Amino acid sequence: MANEKLSGLLERNIEKITETWMQAVRNDARIDSDEALSRYELRDHVPAIMEEICELLRANEIPDPTNTLEGRVKVYLRFQQGYRGRELAREVSLLRMIMLDFLVDHCADPSMQVSLKGYYSSSRIINLYMDEILINAISAYSEAV
Amino acid sequence: MFTQDDFEQLIKNYNEDLLYLLIRASEQSYECLISSFMMLKDLYNAIIKFQASGKFMFRILPYPLSFRANDDLLRTMGFNEEGIRNIYGFLEFVKQTQGKEFEECLEDSVYNLCKRTPGDQPWRMKS
């Protein structure tokens, strides 16, 4: 129930969260590879990733290698764009934190009526999704020739 | 025994097949394309499950199986603007003929496919 509510909240704010994330990436001194990317290339697949996360939240489904397809697109593209692995990890970390911060800010509002348990359930799915991206990235960066 | 070489051959075949299907979509050859994508999705899932088992490595990266608003991905695969437009046109075609999104169709039964319009009867074997 909470997952469905938070999924709707995220879905309505995909653009806002994407903008916040893009700003955070541009401002992060530890990420250089983004300089060569246009605004469109940087934005990349983030809205699609969030849509997929929202679907998983609605279905209360645990992320695994077969239902995190949009995250795989991100890894594939960043790898092809010459991004360094650690910078991709940093991008994913920023997205994770921005999404979780966004949720906690809203869950702190009593009118949302989301318990800590409800927040935890959603944050767990988001965290596992981001972990799947990182697992795939480690494979791509360490194994691909 | 299934070896790393076999795994890589499987990825190469999958990459070729996906590219072929996308070329068909880019040339507006949409007929029954979705059932082919459905079968390819099963192969893609098998590949990533093999890899997730920890027994095989991704020395060759499989193309990701998604079209969701990704011009960059399609460009890296060699498609021009017209081809990309036609590939997105395929997504529209699926919505019109199947009455639902491409991703939803991939989860559905293959028997519900190959309809020209949402009201048509699904294809069945003659009994």
ipTM metric: 0.79
Candidate from B52, B68, B72 with C-beta closest to A70? B68
> How many Å lie between the alpha carbon of A97 and the closest alpha carbon of chain B?
24
pLDDT, tens digit (0-9, with 9 covering 90-100), for A102-120 = 999 999 888 888 889 999 9
Given a cut of 80, whether residue A41 has pLDDT beyond it is no
Domain holding B60, by residue range, is 4-112
pLDDT of residue B124: 54
pLDDT of residue B70: 81
Candidate from B45, B59, B66 with C-beta closest to A73? B66
Q: Rounded to whole angstroms, how far apart are CA atoms B34 and B106? A: 8
Average pLDDT, chain B: 85
State the best of B44, B66, B76 to mutate against chain A, taking most chain A CBs within 10 Å: B66
Phi-psi category of residue B83: left, alpha or beta, with phi > 0 → left and psi -120 to 50 → alpha: alpha
pLDDT, tens digit (0-9, with 9 covering 90-100), for B55-89 = 999 999 999 988 676 888 899 889 999 999 999 99
Q: What fold does the segment set A2-143 form as a domain?
A: Globin-like (1.10.490)
pLDDT, tens digit (0-9, with 9 covering 90-100), for A53-82 = 999 999 999 999 989 999 999 999 889 888
Closest C-alpha among B62, B41, B44, B47 to residue B2:
B47
Tokens of A64: 């695994």
Closest C-alpha among A102, A86, A62 to residue A134:
A86
Closest C-alpha among A94, A8, A45 to residue B64:
A45
pLDDT confidence tier of residue B123, bands split at 50, 70 and 90: low
Per domain, the residue ranges of chain A are 2-143
Number of domain units in chain B? 1
Residue B50 lies in a domain: yes
pLDDT confidence tier of residue B105, bands split at 50, 70 and 90: confident
Residue B96 lies in a domain: yes
pLDDT confidence tier of residue B98, bands split at 50, 70 and 90: confident
pLDDT confidence tier of residue B115, bands split at 50, 70 and 90: low
Q: Say whether residue A85 is in contact with chain B using an 8 A CB cutoff.
A: no
Residue B98 lies in a domain: yes
pTM of this structure: 0.85
